[in-house]
Copies of this chain bind each other. A is one copy, B any other.
């Protein structure tokens, strides 16, 4: 059987565009003699459509688009992901469905059974889980059609009561198809391949897997579409982070194969090249999908803004990324030199605008209230905010989107100024710990020195008061990041952290900082997600509370 894997980049709610992508791929797959072309989960609406699913008009538009697509399915069948209405008279109003189109019409609709409702997923908000299981048939082949999570109920303590393939296996399928909307994190491709391998082996069937590529604000989809034989050996795959259409021919040689090698995953592996590529795609799609082409950012001479600028230059072209140096009296000479050197290395435009006069004029305005009080945090924040005012003015006036340059370590402990350096349309590094920002910088410099070495080697500083260093206020980043990883990604609580060997004073101090800064993170831009637990929609913490030690 010849099946085309269609891995595309959709726009949420853009039915016209998504329909034309899908119809074009159907046409191409037909030319390539495919019998069936498979699109990703909710490909018609893009993923995640959010509360637009609650608008009847949105569902009507999806249904109309699906009819247009069905008409094209003559001489070829297609599987397209889209919501469908729950007509049982009970439960949530929609199913998350795979529409099987053939002979110019909708032939069958298969509904998702297992609905992820954790981390960034809210599927139970919209969809009813299906308890019905049936096979689809095409050219005498029997297909077990599943949707993403349907094959992921593999934990030691299963998260769901249902095992869709256990229901489908007795119906004697020849092949499993899984359509997915499985967002990237640094281990997701390995996890996915492991699940596919285990599923193929358990049921003795080849699998065709099709995922999204492209970023939807914070969620980045890397693709990873593939076909494996019944031993779980990957026989064909589409390149990551790229659109593509590939026809695979599944014949008898895909059955009775030897088991593929076991896939080992080291939790802390964090392949830096993958993270790099994901962030570039995340930036590119945020701009292209909002209709912007140019980015601006504050260039401090430090590593975070340098890495952000390089990633943006890769995504948008260096001529479309503008760096602004905004020195104050506390800025060191090397800061300006390092920042300028970076812009020159990239060939990007840059400006130098001093914040001294605005800073002074605020000081004068506030003098009656602050008289006699010493320089402190308020004055530090004021500098960061004066910078943001200038960056936002340029953004508004000249049509740039401001890039946020905060990293995950800072975001975690609240080491940043709200409405100051925490501004921006999108946060590029907000899911990358400082220690990984260093790894990204070295990766960027792997062939030549793009980021000035001095930006990488000098001690991190916010330069908001004389001689300031990050380490005045924070533990060293290698210590801090290890603790943050356990608390944020692994959700290990204070007692267990101490039991596992972290210093109790440090645990108490850092956890307090993390929890006391929920209010700041609430107001930060969306963060490109590259880890299994990013700040934002995937981590929902109370802003006001007491645990532990708010």
Contacts and interface: CB of A to CB of B under 8 A. Distances in A.
Interface of A: 11-15, 17, 46, 48-52, 54-58, 60-61, 89-93, 117-118, 122, 124-125, 157-161, 216-217, 285-286, 289-290, 351, 353-355, 357-358, 360-362, 364-366, 368-370, 373, 376-379, 381-382, 385-386, 388-390, 392-394, 396-398, 418-419, 423, 425, 491-496, 519, 522-526, 537, 539-548, 550
A357 B366 contact: no
Contacts of A290: 519, 544
B50 A542 contact: yes
A539 B376 contact: no
B14 A547 contact: yes
Contacts of A217: 542-544
Contact of A389 (B17, B52, B362): B362
Nearest to A366: B393
B362 A547 contact: no
Given A11-B545, A493-B58, A546-B17, A357 B364 contact: yes
A263 to B, nearest CB: 25
Counting from the closest, the 5 A-B pairs by CB-CB distance are A57-B493, A13-B547, A12-B545, A14-B546, A378-B396
Given A366-B393, A376-B397, 20 more contacts: A12-B544, A13-B542, A15-B547, A50-B542, A52-B541, A55-B492, A57-B492, A122-B540, A351-B369, A353-B368, A353-B369, A358-B358, A358-B361, A361-B361, A366-B394, A389-B389, A392-B419, A419-B423, A522-B526, A523-B523
A51 B158 contact: no
Contact of A11 (B124, B494, B546): B546
Contacts of A54: 491
B370 A397 contact: yes
Contacts of A286: 544
A393 B364 contact: no
B366 A353 contact: yes
A15 B360 CA distance: 47
Q: Which of A13, A157, A524 has the most CB of B within 10 A?
A: A13
Nearest to A59: B493
